[in-house]
Structure 1
Amino acid sequence: MSSGPRDTTSPRRALITGAAGGIGAAIARVLHTGGATVIVTDVDLDAARATAAIIGGAEAVHLDVRSEKSVRSAIGSITSRHGPLDVLVNNAAVCSNLEFESVPEPVWSVDVDVVLGGAIRLCQAVLPGMREARRGAVVNVASVNGHRYFGNDTYSAAKAGLLNLTRGLAAQYGPYGVRVNSVSPGTIATPIWEERLATDPHALDKAASWYPMGRVGTVDDVAEAVAFLAGDRASWINGIDLPVDGGLLAGSRAMAVDIGAAVVDAD
């Protein structure tokens, strides 16, 4: 059986938003290791430069995903130097943690505008070049929160919108050789947890008990999944969401045991 034609969208020029740290920095590192020319973008340029320096050979660019002017300026400058992007990873996100009825509009609007609005702005700026080149891959970093209720209502709503955007763009741009997919991480051990762990040192351990695989995720778990969807081995994968969640969306055996719906192992 033929394996089909080899895809020409191997990561060569890859831009990652929100890449100064955490998951974004790991994605940048893994793509760079795979041979991509990596552009590390973030609203915090100093932090982006630090990440680019650690990676070595990466470029740091200031990018505010909430500003169309910033997005257009950055993409114009990058493509003038490097040519059309081959890979776009929409990773930038913020997440408020307030009771739903108490979240003021200036707060929830940031959740939505960074997560969903940012992805829309980047895709509008990047996809025309990919369409013209008839190649390219977009990977959106969604979340299990976009699939089920796990709190953080407005952030979760924005992530659900990102999943829908992924499917819609995949259908529209697939005929031009452009693939659009997403990953949905579960709980990932990132520096953002440091403040929570300072007051609750066992927070991640407690979270791990929810996951069928018995642990929370790492930034590399997500980065490797993104690199797969961005590269040749995923050449006929388009419009899907890949959960990177240790089985959380499959169900919780721990909960089933607690309510007496599952047999506890004898050992």
Structure 2
Amino acid sequence: MTEMRRFEGHGVLISGAARGIGAATARRLAEEGAQVLVTDVDLAEAERTAASIRERIGACAEAFVCDVGDRASVEAAVAYAVDAFGSLDVLVNNACGCTPDAPLFEDEPDEVWARDLDLTLTGAYRCCRAALPHLVASGRGAIVSIGSVNGIQDFGNHAYSAAKAGLTSLTRTLAGHAAARGVRVNLVAPGTVRTSAWEGRDADLAAVREVYPLGRVGEPEDIAAAVAFLASRDAAWITGTTLCVDGGLLAVNTGFRQAVRGHGDA
């Protein structure tokens, strides 16, 4: 458990927080003193995550059902957080949708495209819109969205990648709008992270690991640590930025280096 207490008394809302990166972020911020609202469409799993935080950390954590695809649901979650914690100081946009691509681009259904963009990009927009007045009122408001290296470089998944790229752009434009109101807006772009999406795919993860310069895939806690930094006062002079937490994936072409190894550098 971290000894830092950067979020003492802060009210935090995290979307898609029942498991994976969202749950790890809820635990990390709670360890640092935050009061955390674990929101998700899966209320039972969100309640288990919140209960685990209360039992293991002794922090204030509550669960609330929230569908980021529904404006009323988002507004209800924000109102609940403000009422429960007295303020909303940090919003973490983690909920997303990622549907496997059709074999041919021209066979992609409209509904798949629309769903992934709605959950990943428009869902974050809905959360930011509902939360922003409260983040302004707190005097220390911060938004951190979970993007992806997919929004920066081609790793497949057309709709998901386009949505994550849009979230990177929204981070910049909202940062410009919110700066004068005292709210910082940043984004973490993870590479491959070991979550339930990879369950039962150990061989695939082992193969993927080989392309990462640091020799491993990410863990949810790696991303949670980056979110905690950007949401904290340690990042008080940082806004509108994308922080890649990707084991060096975007910086180093590991495949190329391996191809020319023994033949001199190109």
The TM-score normalised by the length of structure 1 is 0.90
Structure 1 residues 262, 20: closer, same or farther in 2, change over 3 A? farther
Q: Which fold has the larger relative contact order, with Cα–Cα distance below 8 Å and residues 6 or more apart in sequence?
A: 1
Q: Secondary structure at the match of 2:218?
A: coil
CA deviations 1:160-197 (Å, max 9, x no partner) are 000000011111111121100000000001111114x1
Shift of 1:260: 6.4
**Structure 2 counterpart of 1:91:** 94
CA contact (8 A) 1:212 1:246 kept: yes
**Structure 2 counterpart of 1:52:** 50
CA deviations 1:123-143 (Å, max 9, x no partner) are 000011222333200000000
Percent of matched pairs sharing the same residue: 49
**Structure 1 counterpart of 2:243:** 242
Shift of 1:59: 0.3
CA contact (8 A) 1:25 1:51 kept: yes
Distance in 1, matches of 2:212 and 2:9, equals 32
CA deviations 1:240-259 (Å, max 9, x no partner) are 11000001111213323325
Asked if 1:125 is matched to 2:130, the reply is yes
Structure 1 residues 206, 177: closer, same or farther in 2, change over 3 A? same
Structure 1 residues 236, 256: closer, same or farther in 2, change over 3 A? same
**Structure 1 counterpart of 2:3:** none
Structure 1 residues 250, 135: closer, same or farther in 2, change over 3 A? same
1:189 to 180, 184, 194: 194
Distance in 2, matches of 1:130 and 1:124, equals 10
1:36 to 26, 34, 37: 34
Distance in 1, matches of 2:241 and 2:235, equals 11
Asked if 1:231 is matched to 2:259, the reply is no
**Structure 2 counterpart of 1:159:** 164
- In the TM superposition, 1:1-267 aligns within 5 A as 12-56=10-54, 57-99=60-102, 100-195=105-200, 197=201, 201-258=202-259, 263=264
Structure 1 residues 262, 185: closer, same or farther in 2, change over 3 A? farther
Q: What is the root-mean-square deviation of aligned Cα atoms in Å?
A: 1.8
Shift of 1:119: 0.5
Distance in 2, matches of 1:258 and 1:251, equals 13
Structure 1 residues 22, 151: closer, same or farther in 2, change over 3 A? same
CA deviations 1:74-109 (Å, max 9, x no partner) are 212321232331000000012011223322122221
Q: Secondary structure at the match of 2:12?
A: strand
| Matched residue type, 2:51 | A
Question: Is there any run of 5+ residues in structure 2 with no aligned partner, and where?
Answer: 1-5, 55-59
CA contact (8 A) 2:191 2:249 kept: yes
CA deviations 1:217-262 (Å, max 9, x no partner) are 1100000000010112111111111000001111213323325697
Q: Secondary structure at the match of 1:180?
A: strand
Structure 1 residues 25, 204: closer, same or farther in 2, change over 3 A? same
Question: Is there any run of 5+ residues in structure 1 with no aligned partner, and where?
Answer: 1-7
Question: Is 72-81 or 224-233 further displaced after alignment?
Answer: 72-81
Distance in 2, matches of 1:262 and 1:81, equals 62
Distance in 2, matches of 1:171 and 1:153, equals 28
CA contact (8 A) 1:11 1:86 kept: no
